[in-house]
Amino acid sequence: MNEAIASPGIGPTEERQLQELVHELQQLYHGQLVAVFLYGSAARGNFVPGRSDLNLLIIVQSVRLDDLGRAATLFRRWRKLKIAPLLMAAGELQSASRVFPLELSDVKEFGRLLYGSNPLAGIQIAPEHIRAQCRRELHGRLIRLRQEYLELGDRRHALAGILAGALSSILPVFRAVLRLGGAQVPTTDEAVVEAVAARHHLARDLFTTLLAHKRGSRQLATADFERLLGHLIGEWERLIALVDAL
């Protein structure tokens, strides 16, 4: 079994458990397993135990329904690790780079190879595909954000989860905006927010507040949520205009 590369965001216990999980994936897929990547907050160094998922990109020769069933059983047993698996066939990677360029850009740049060879090394991700997904994500998520607000009723406390989810959606777009502008993408979410806010004059304090709220390091009063949501929607519309201009 390949040794897992140590990730700065997770501890030795998680590293050991990931190695055990990769070993089980090898047994499950036999010679069909091509590569396993750790990506997301754990690979970039933003992992928060108990809150963050462990995102895994699992690349196999082919994805069959019976294999999916066995994999589902495996991941149910590993639920304690909060694994968020993404399963792809090796032959899908080129087309996936056109449909999911934000995710694959992050895996290429920050992902940690836990097993196998690196089939992403030869995949080129075109800027026009990054722009297209940014537009889809921003427009679609803004519409869902308005819909979620309409469905709240008197459950104003639920705005906390909506704000955290909205920030999770916008951070990959922030990293993409930096790439499209030719800037180096920082590893931490805090530095990404700082870089985008400085380069494009977005509301730094809003996004750092939401980031601290999402991480659990800052408690917000329910009365703050609507004010922050209104501010966020305004900045979201500015970000849409920014992406359209890139």
Interval 45-78: pLDDT, tens: 888 777 778 899 999 998 888 778 888 888 888 8
- Res 112 pLDDT > 90: yes
d(CA 126, CA 100): 11
pLDDT at 9: 62
Mean pLDDT of 86-112: 94
- Res 133 pLDDT > 80: yes
Query: Hey, which residues does 87 pair with through a beta bridge?
Result: 58
For residue 64, give every residue at least 6 positions away whose Cβ sits within 8 Å of its Cβ, in sequence order, or none: none
- Res 22 pLDDT > 90: yes
pLDDT at 25: 93
pLDDT at 240: 92
Residue 167 lies in a domain: yes
Q: Are 82 and 151 part of one and the same domain? A: no
Q: Which of 184, 203, 190, 191 is nearest to 242 (CA)?
A: 203
Whole-structure pTM value: 0.85
| Residue 126: how many other CB atoms lie within 10 Å | 11
Residue 1 lies in a domain: no
Q: Are 135 and 163 part of one and the same domain? A: yes
Range of lowest pLDDT (3-17, 143-157, 201-215): 3-17
Q: Are 36 and 88 part of one and the same domain? A: yes
Q: Are 139 and 241 part of one and the same domain? A: yes
pLDDT at 176: 96
- Out of 73, 95, 116, a domain closes at 116
* Residue 39 and residue 112 in contact, taking contact as beta carbons nearer than 8 Å: yes
Residue 49's domain comprises 12-116
User: Which pLDDT band holds residue 190 (cuts at 50, 70, 90)?
Assistant: very high
Q: Are 46 and 144 part of one and the same domain? A: no
Residue 157 lies in a domain: yes
Our CA dihedral for 214, 74, 60, 56, rounded to 10 degrees, sits at: 20
pLDDT at 39: 94
Distances (CA, A) of 43 to 18, 55, 124, 173, 190: 12, 9, 21, 18, 15
d(CA 110, CA 186): 10
Mean per-residue pLDDT of the chain: 88
Q: Which of 115, 78, 113, 101 is nearest to 175 (CA)?
A: 101
Q: Are 240 and 131 part of one and the same domain? A: yes
d(CA 21, CA 193): 33
Q: Are 136 and 197 part of one and the same domain? A: yes
Coil, helix or strand at residue 29? helix
Q: Are 131 and 199 part of one and the same domain? A: yes
Give how many domains the chain has, as a whole number. 2
Residue 191 lies in a domain: yes
Classify strands 83-89 and 112-116 as parallel, antiparallel or unpaired: unpaired
